[in-house]
Chains A and B, each alone.
Chain A
Amino acid sequence: MNPAPMVALVGNPNAGKSALFNALTGARQKVGNYPGVTVERKIGRMSLDDGRPLELVDLPGTYSLDPQSPDEQVTRDVLFGRQEGERTPSALVVVVDATNLDNHLRFVLQLIALKLPTIVALNMIDMAARDGLEIDAARLAAELGVPVIPTVAVRKRGLDDLRAALGRAVGGGGKAMFASGDPADIADLQREARRIATAVTVQRSAGSTWTQRLDRIALHPVIGPILLAALMFVMFQGVFSWSKAPVDWLASLQAALADAAVKTLPDGFVRSLLVEGVINGVGSVVAYLPQILILFLFILVLEASGYMVRAAFLMDRLMAGVGLSGRAFIPLLSSFACAIPGIMATRTIDDQRDRLTTILIAPLMTCSARLPVYAMVIGAFIPARRVLPGVGLQGLVLFCLYIAGILSAMGAAMVLRRTVAKGGGGGFLLEMPKYQMPLWRDVAIGLWQRAYLFLRRAGTVILAVTIGLWLLTSYPQAPAGSALKQSEYSIAGRIASVLEPVVRPVGFNHDMALAIIPTMAAREVAVSSLQTIYSIDGGDDEKVGQQKLAERLHGAWSLPTALAFLAWFVFAPQCLSTIAVIRRETNGWAWPGFTLAYLFSLAWVAAGITFWTATALGL
C-alpha cells in the first residue's frame, strides 16, 4: 500500500501555523529531528472526509525561500524534495495572517511559483474583522489562481472547508519547478503582493486597538521593564509555592509504593534494588515534575500570548550591552526550562557569532533539571521563613540562584564577545505579533510533550544511572560490624576517592564527590544519587522519603558546604545531552570541549569562593 500523501504546512512566523497544525491533527503528532540538522520535524496525521489518511508536516516558519538560517534551509529543501528523510509534498497549505496580507502574500506568491498543488489558509479572519478589515476571499483566490479558505485555527473554524479542499488537491502530484526558473526579484513580488492585498481588502473601520493599548503598558520605557521583572519573579515564586501540594502527593505516593514493596517482597537483593534504586531513586526525581510543568506553563503561555517578543524588545538594550541581541532572550529564557531546546532555538539568530555566544552561555541559565537539586538543598538548609508578605526566604534564595546564573551568563557573554566570538554584530529586527489569548489546547499539547520527554528521561537515563549507581555503591559490601562506611567501601566510593582531592578544597565531602559523577548524565540524578548513598549508609530501606533525606543532609553537611554545592550547580556543565547538542549545533568537538572546560572551571571557583566566604563569616 502506498503511504499516506504528505502535505506541508508553510507560512510566515506568527501566521498561526502551529495552531492550525494542532487543530487539524489534535494530539496525533510526533516531534523529531531532521537527520544531520537539529531542526524540529513535527508531523501529524489527519483523515479527509472520505477517510483517506494524510500526513501533515509543520515546516518551520520562514519569511522567504531565500535561506539564511538552518530552519529556512529545511523548509526550502523539503519544498524542493531535497530534504533527506522527507518525501516531496503532495500539496502545500500556506497559512497567511489575514490581518497582515500585504506582507504575507509575497511569500504566497513565491510558493505558488513552485507549481505544487497549493491551498491558502486565510487564517485569523476573525482578528481581521476585529481590526475592521473585510477581505474578499473569492477575489483573492481569483488573483492568486489557487483555492483560498478562510480559517480561524484557534476556534477550529474553516477546517471542514480546508479538509475538503485538501481532498481535491492531493492525488494530482507535481514537483517543484522553482529551481529551473529565475526567482522573481523580492521587491517586485512585494509590490505585487501589496497590489493584491489592497485590491481584496476593504478597511471598514478603524477597528479596535487592543495590541496598541497593551503595548503602551508592556513596552513603556519604565513600566515595561518593571512589569517584565515582576512577571519573572511571580513565575519563580509560582514554581516553588504552587507546586508544594502536588510535590507532597507524589512524595507520599512514593512512600506508599516503597512500603508496599517492603511488605510484599522478601528481604534481599531484589527488594533492595527495587526500593532503594528504583522507587526512591527515580521517585525523588519524578517528584519535581510539577515544578517543571509550572515553569513550562509560564513559558508556553508567554510565548503563545505574544508577550515573549515584547520581552525580547525590552531586553535588547541590555543584551546589546554584552554584545548580544534581544533575539537571544527567547533561547535563553527557554534554557530556564532546558538548555537543549534553548540551544536549538538559537537557530533563529542569523549572526553566527551572536549565535555561538548564545549557545555557550545557554547552559548557565538555570534549567529545570537543577531545580530538584536546588529544591533539595534549599529545603534541607534554608528555613521556610517569611521575609516579606508573600515572599518566603526559600523562594528568595532560589531567585538569587537564578539571578547568579543570569549575571554570570551576561559576564561570560561579554568576555566571549571580546575574545573567542569577536566581531560581527547581529542586529535586532523582528516582527511583533498581535497579542492573543493563549489557547488551552495548544498549551496543553506543549505541556504534555514536555512532561512526556521528562518522564521518558526519568524512565530510561535516570533509571539506568540510578540502578548503576546503586550497584556501584552497594558492592562490594563492607564487612559486617566494621566501622567502615558502605558508601566509602564500595566501588563508587573508591572512584570518588580519586576525585575527592580535587573538590575537597571547595568544601565537598566524599559523598558529594560520589554524587557528582553520575550527575554527568543528568543533573537531577544528584538527588537520587544522594538519596541512594544516604539510604545505603542508613541501612534502612523503608520509607526513605524526601523528609528523611533532608534530615540526613542536614546532619552530614555544614551550611558552607551546602551553599558551595548550590554554587557548583549554578555553573557545572553536568548534562551530557547538552554537550551533545552543542557538538551537533557547532559541528565539531572544539566548542563542546571549550564549554566543558570553562564551565567546570567557573563551577570550581564559584563553589570555592562561596565555601571560603561562608566559612570565614562563621555560617
Chain B
Amino acid sequence: MRLDQLPLNRASRIASIDWAGLAPRDARRLRELGFDDGVAIEALHHGALKGPLACRVGRMIVALRRAVAAAVTVEPA
C-alpha cells in the first residue's frame, strides 16, 4: 500500500521507497528526516481537500505532500 492511501493511526512499516521517482531535493530531505526501509511509520493527519499529510516516522512527526507520500510503499508492522 502507498503511504498516501494508508488509513490513519495504523501501525505500519516502510517496505520500500521509490527514490528514483522522487525529485533529488525531496529524496534527500526524506532521507534526512529518517525515511528508510524498515522504519516504523503511521499516518496521523490528513489535510483537508487533498492537502498534505502528517505521519510519525520513527519518533518524529513529518509533514509531506501526497505526491511525495505516493513514492513510499508501506506494509503492516
Contact = CB atoms under 8 A, between A and B. Distances in A.
A224 B63 CA distance: 15
A199 interface: no
Most buried by B among A66, A186, A350, A430: A430
A152 to B, nearest CB: 18
A219 B62 CA distance: 13
Contacts of B49: 317
Nearest to B69: A429
A481 interface: no
Interface string B32-59: 1110100100001111111110100011
B interface secondary structure, majority: mixed
Contact-size category for B: 20 to 34
Contact of A186 (B32, B45, B68): B32
Given A102-B34, A186-B32, A428 B64 contact: yes
B65 interface: yes
Contacts of A190: 31, 34, 36
Nearest to B61: A432
B63 A215 contact: no
Contacts of B46: 221
Nearest to B46: A221
A429 B31 contact: no
Contacts of B63: 309, 312-313, 316, 326, 428-432
A3 B24 CA distance: 43
A525 B13 CA distance: 58
B18 interface: no
B48 to A, nearest CB: 4
Which of A103, A131, A222 has the largest count of B CB atoms less than 10 A from its CB? A103
B65 A427 contact: yes
B72 to A, nearest CB: 12
Contact of A429 (B36, B44, B65): B65
B51 A316 contact: yes
B15 interface: no
A265 to B, nearest CB: 61
Contact of A430 (B39, B48, B62): B62
A212 B54 CA distance: 11
Interface in A532-550: none
Contacts of B68: 427, 429
A429 B26 contact: yes
Find the residue from A219, A220, A224, A426 having the highest chain B CB count within 10 A: A219
B28 to A, nearest CB: 7
A146 B59 CA distance: 24
A434 B67 CA distance: 25
B10 to A, nearest CB: 15
B60 to A, nearest CB: 5
Given A187-B36, A219-B45, A432 B59 contact: no
Contact of B34 (A99, A103, A313): A103
A211 interface: yes
B62 A429 contact: yes
A351 B65 CA distance: 15
Nearest to B64: A429
Nearest to B25: A350
A102 B59 contact: yes
A426 to B, nearest CB: 8
B59 A313 contact: no
B62 A432 contact: yes
A60 to B, nearest CB: 15
Nearest to B53: A313
A314 interface: yes
A431 B47 contact: no
A63 interface: yes
15 contacts: A99-B59, A106-B34, A194-B36, A194-B58, A212-B44, A219-B44, A219-B45, A221-B48, A222-B48, A309-B63, A314-B47, A316-B63, A317-B52, A326-B52, A431-B61
Interface of B: 23, 25-26, 28-34, 36, 39, 44-52, 54, 58-65, 67-68
9 nearest interchain CB pairs? A317-B51, A221-B48, A63-B32, A432-B61, A219-B45, A103-B34, A316-B52, A429-B29, A102-B58
